[in-house]
Amino acid sequence: MHHYQSIQLFKSDFFKALAHPMRIRILEELSEGNKNVNELQSILGSEGSAVSQQLSVLRHKNVVYGIKEGTTVVYSLRDPLIKDLLAVAKQIFDNHLVDAISLLEGIRKEQ
């Protein structure tokens, strides 16, 4: 396997790990600081099993890690650059939104 293929494989796997709305929410919350499962559950307003399930996916994909503190596990981003990645994704979304709005305004003017 070529070097570039393994990088693409990593990227593909990495984006698969992100490819779920709740996992994105969890990562956004962890971008603001470390949190335990209970904190994430109350912020996301989801039952524990759903949050734990998504955390488990993120853990297996090496996107987050958990450290046991007493009876609870505190989760952190494995790489702080994930915060930047999410910010860039938001900028892309905003750009699409601006494009869509100006397109709509253009169509309205033509009518």
Percentage above 90 pLDDT, the chain: 67
What is the mean predicted confidence (pLDDT) over 22-42?
Answer: 95
* pTM of this structure: 0.81
Q: Can you give the pLDDT at residue 3?
A: 75
pLDDT tens, residue by residue, 58-86: 999 999 999 999 999 999 999 999 999 99
Q: Decide if pLDDT at 21 tops 80.
A: yes
Q: Can you give the pLDDT at residue 96?
A: 86
pLDDT tens, residue by residue, 93-110: 888 888 888 888 888 887
Residue 70, Cα to own-chain centre: how many angstroms?
27
For the chain, the average pLDDT equals 90
- Identify the CA nearest to 41 among candidates 73, 84, 82, 81: 73
Q: The sheet that has 35-36: what strands, in order across it? A: 35-36, 72-77, 64-69
Enumerate domains of the chain plus CATH numbers.
3-78 (1.10.10.10)
Q: Can you give the pLDDT at residue 1?
A: 65
Residue-wise DSSP of 45-109: T--HHHHHHHHHHHHHTTSEEEEEETTEEEEEES-THHHHHHHHHHHHHHHHHHHHHHHHHHHHH
